[in-house]
Structure 1
């Protein structure tokens, strides 16, 4: 792993100027990424390539996300929308007017719109559903909620499950809530939970759209999912068992009735429509209207449905549920602006990753082991969906296949005779992209939303670095190392 990372950094430093114009993205086809890196295009010119300094705004944004709430909290909370938009504008304007590269910004914009439409719809619709769990907040009760959330994440996505369960989870533990409750919720429900179906997490859905069979993830990711979920559940249980009642978040409400009640159940219908709309992809269903750019179809009907459902679910929501959830738009507002900055500034970073992975040196290093650690570590700091596509593209290209060829993707996922260790490679990419998304607040969309909701009710969440140093490194890294050893290095299961 050290060799992989060292070569990655050295080659990036020396080969920055050989980046191609494509920006592999999380929600649209990345076939151009392979084709444009292998086939000469008459319209592609050398001035399209992003220079080294264009990575600086992305690094600055990450550093400000990490340090802002800790060292200059008032300035950050007041000005983070401006900071994110300005840094994104620097990169986007340079691409458009200096590099004359419209391809990257257009794809980044389409990717962002699809990303925020899904998150907004699920956030608003779930905000109108109030779940009250009138039970004693015992460690085992909490573990069961986390495990149930991990299952539900595969049905309505990690975002839907997170938004549906985070508030009742906080209310249940109102007399003893601690930051670790929220962190483990992010680990188990917002990330690792969604490993079993393409609906569960955006990277897996992109793989499905490219040709990976729908039940492939259930077949190949089930045992790692059970393995990681049970270990995290056990660790949480041991930590939670030591937690004594703290009345700082409310008074004791008496003997619990052990009842679970739902308010605003009609919003489940809106959630169902939003989840169903996910499949309205014009690249799969030719009858779905689309915006065509450079031969690529971009969805808009799906996004209109999602945003409309969000609006209507709020307009006709049960007011008791909204009030009970203390619903407001600040969490999704924060995510919207922060990820404008991330999607706008990470184009050069993804470009560098893609070029290294598909270079001769990078391709020679592509194995299930390096794919696991490469995809995983970058998924923690870049959005995990484009990272998944980037490494799948590189893995297939290293064996002479194209992600734009549906039959080749199917053969690659099925372990066709033309490929070497392709099933294990795809499994490494899939598991790592989903699991490692929990390493930071920005690894996956729901992470930031859960953090914001927790802070809204007064829970003092750790900083960006605090999250990594106190939880990710001591808890997740040993777990991910164990997953790698058991499932990929030793191949025991």
Structure 2
């Protein structure tokens, strides 16, 4: 691992060996579903929690310092409150589609999904839209329909707000202002989404032309949409309102861990679950499995990444300076490891080079103001390259699972990369990096 090359020179810093639980957990997340799927499916909670307890024991018994653990617990609860509430609430909205969509309608649908991802998160948007996406293309759906949905809705689309993608929310929790990403990244978002949509439209037009004309005309003429569970729009509004509570309220906590916004989000999720008709949940095949998996894995991630963040923010180790280097390095790791801790690790490293601490909101705000190109590069690299493989971002595997269950077999792990992410996504992201990151936009 790249992180293992870092050697701290401060006695207060944890030893390099304490990076091992973090590295092991990320490698397990990346490789276990491929090579030991049955074991991982049944035992991933034990692995994640056990590795987290190794780090916990180090800080309790060796460092005798509870503060990093307390800080991690607070961030974890805030993180899960947002991800969990959006998952539950979006699972209470059902969209049913009848008829076959044209390439224009498909392209518009993906664009709407890209915008929506910034309001209900890439996970929420993916879970809400993947089933109607499959139904509206049921007569001609292919691998590229599933893959471009992952590219646009599950990843690239959620780059405009901290709600959009977990890496950006971690930055928001550390002190990046809510509208900073929108202000600095909208041009890169627009370019990336536009290029992906153009390529998709070309592919889909060719696919649509293969359908016999009499079937094509009949199906597109009978297009019909039905929405249910719309009361959940109210609960989505509650979650968004919680993000914008006054700073004095946001800083108020229960037991130093449960912030007021987090409690409001949890309450909105509970209200959504019990005010949604069971038939809607059944139509969505709703269950808590995906969010439970995220919850267990991120317990381990938030605990084991404490030593990595402390070492990185010491300012030593990584010989990375330019925004382009941060864009591609953050992106390369985000494609194969979870993009949320990757974002935070490189943010800590970049801030450490400026003798700033990622644990200080004031330092984070100063870094965002004085070193915007670096933060833009890290943000874009983490969010955009999360689509590089199925393991780059949480929604990717969720979408694949739903597609497989619907008998729409998504490409295998290697086929996804060999046929789509490397020949199609990577060149687009290189163009975006060259135009937006290198030029300083």
TM-score by length of 1: 0.75
8 Å contact 2:79–2:169 — kept in the other structure? no
User: Where in structure 2 are the equivalents of 1:81-480 lying within 5 Å?
Assistant: 81-205=45-169, 207=171, 212=176, 214-241=178-205, 243=207, 255=219, 257-280=222-245, 284-286=247-249, 289-291=252-254, 298-355=257-314, 358-359=315-316, 362=318, 365-381=320-336, 383-396=338-351, 398-399=353-354, 413-414=368-369, 419=370, 422-462=371-411, 467-480=416-429
The alignment partner of 1:87 has SS state of helix
Cα RMSD after superposing both structures: 3.7
8 Å contact 2:343–2:382 — kept in the other structure? yes
CA distance in 1, matches of 2:174, 2:26: 30
The alpha carbon displacement at 1:266 in A equals: 0.7
Cα deviation digits, residues 330-369 of structure 1 (max 9, x gap): 22233323333433433444444434xx12x65x742222
8 Å contact 1:154–1:197 — kept in the other structure? yes
Task: Flag structure 2 segments of 5+ consecutive residues without an equivalent.
Answer: 211-215
Q: 1:77 to 1:463 in 2, by over 3 A?
A: farther
The alpha carbon displacement at 1:327 in A equals: 1.7
Q: 1:199 to 1:304 in 2, by over 3 A?
A: same
8 Å contact 1:92–1:344 — kept in the other structure? yes
The alpha carbon displacement at 1:394 in A equals: 4.6
Question: What is residue 39 of structure 2 aligned with on the other side?
Answer: 75
8 Å contact 1:198–1:214 — kept in the other structure? yes
The alpha carbon displacement at 1:263 in A equals: 0.8
8 Å contact 2:313–2:353 — kept in the other structure? no
The alpha carbon displacement at 1:209 in A equals: 5.9
Cα deviation digits, residues 382-415 of structure 1 (max 9, x gap): 544454455445545544666677777666545x
Q: 1:353 to 1:62 in 2, by over 3 A?
A: same
TM-score by length of 2: 0.83
Cα deviation digits, residues 7-65 of structure 1 (max 9, x gap): x94x84361x54x7xxxxxxxxxxxxxxxxxxxxxxxx64x61432x434444444444
8 Å contact 1:263–1:320 — kept in the other structure? no
8 Å contact 1:84–1:337 — kept in the other structure? yes
Q: Select between 439-448 and 270-279 the one with higher mean Cα deviation.
A: 439-448
Q: Select between 214-223 and 399-408 the one with higher mean Cα deviation.
A: 399-408
**Structure 1 residue 13 corresponds to structure 2 residue 5:** yes
Q: How many residues align?
A: 436
CA distance in 2, matches of 1:178, 1:337: 33
The alpha carbon displacement at 1:431 in A equals: 2.1
Q: 1:308 to 1:50 in 2, by over 3 A?
A: farther
